[in-house]
Amino acid sequence: MSTLPTATQLCLEAAKRLGLEASVLDPEYGYLFELRKGERRQAMLGGRSPLNDAVAARLAEDKHYTGMLLERADLRTPRTTRCLSREHPSMTSYRDRAGMTPGVAFAKELGYPVVVKPNRLSHGRGVTLADDEGTLRRAVRAAWQLDAIALVQERIDGRDFRLDFLDGRFLVGYERRPIEVRGDGKRSLGQLLAARDPRFADAERLRRLTRDRRFRQTVERRGWTMTSVPPEGAALSFDGPIQNLNGASTARIVERIPEGLRQVCARAGEAVGLRHFGVDLKLEGLEADPARAAFIEINASPLLSQMYLLGHKEQALHAQMQVLSALFA
């Protein structure tokens, strides 16, 4: 059997601690497995669980519809408009309303920069900050290669948090931050990155990082590669307005949040109809007025893989055990 995906490993370890039986049904890839408690059986796909109903899970995949529901619940979201692709087969009925015009007009009214992203993708794929109309048009066309709908959104400043919940109860979270390293004249850039974030001790993950545009541009500007040894004191930061843990970002664990913020986030989950969910939000800090929290998106059945890989294995396992316990309650 090949190495199991991290999400599957995490679920299987949590199941073992709970005394659940488990079987991997697709050993070739490892994403499909089954958990059992007595006569009860539950199929699982990676870390995704059936705690959320199909409609709520589908709504959470649609960033624009999620934003509409959150706005109706009097929660703050980025101002947004949609640009529909004329070429995508699913947009045939809307061609009279399709094209870039809504996004260009919106950005002109709102003012640059604006964020452009595919409506339904995750992991930061296709997300771009557009500083002018030319960049906006290119970003929308690129988003259309990934999705039938491109969103043009207001840029919101603030610290970048992911917080996970189950039935309104806070599980665990993290704050995304740019990776920053400082040379010591001895270790290579790759070694410095691995010391800063344990995920980059894995050679394949380090190779993937070199494909991140922000990382590549920053490193190439210095004339460095992963094997370069930065001089002592030389600082390298991958700061930027969009933080993504699948790119040049790392994270700090969040184990507790104020009650006011928990209540606001619980309202967000209720607005979409989700039991198990993660919110991506911008806020000046966890102790700031929770009414100022800007909800960027909501994820149904959020995976705990990044937390696990960042070295917070016990916290990730504890959260996963709570999810599985709810599943077999």
Single-letter residue type at 222: R
- Tell me what pLDDT residue 1 has: 43
Question: Which residue in 183, 117, 189 sits closest to 153, CA to CA?
Answer: 117
Q: What does the block give as tokens for 68?
A: 């509409």
- Tell me what pLDDT residue 96 has: 79
The contacts of residue 281 (CB under 8 Å, 6+ apart) are 161, 163, 265, 293, 294, 295, 296
- Are residues 282 and 172 located together in one domain of the fold? yes
Residue listed under structure tokens 């409506």: 119
- Tell me what pLDDT residue 176 has: 95
Single-letter residue type at 216: R
Can you tell me the distance from the alpha carbon of 99 to that of 231, in angstroms, rounded to the nearest whole number? 49
- Are residues 164 and 247 located together in one domain of the fold? yes
Residue 1 falls inside a structural domain: no
- Are residues 164 and 243 located together in one domain of the fold? yes
- Are residues 110 and 133 located together in one domain of the fold? yes
Question: Which residue in 326, 260, 320, 321 sits closest to 287, CA to CA?
Answer: 260
CATH of the domain at 83: 3.30.1490.20
The contacts of residue 103 (CB under 8 Å, 6+ apart) are 81, 83, 116, 136, 140, 150, 152
Query: Do residues 189 and 235 lie in contact, with contact meaning Cβ atoms separated by under 8 Å?
Result: no
Consecutive H or E run containing 140: helix 133-144
Q: How many domains would you assign to the chain?
A: 4
Instruction: Say what the pTM is.
Output: 0.93
- Tell me what pLDDT residue 121 has: 78
- Are residues 115 and 243 located together in one domain of the fold? no
Single-letter residue type at 263: Q
- Are residues 61 and 127 located together in one domain of the fold? no
Domain of residue 96, residue span: 79-155
- Tell me what pLDDT residue 109 has: 96
- Are residues 199 and 225 located together in one domain of the fold? yes
For the chain, first and last CA: distance in Å?
31
319 alpha-carbon distance from chain centroid? 17
- Taking 50 as the pLDDT cut, the residues of the chain under it are 1
- Are residues 170 and 254 located together in one domain of the fold? yes
CATH of the domain at 287: 3.30.470.20
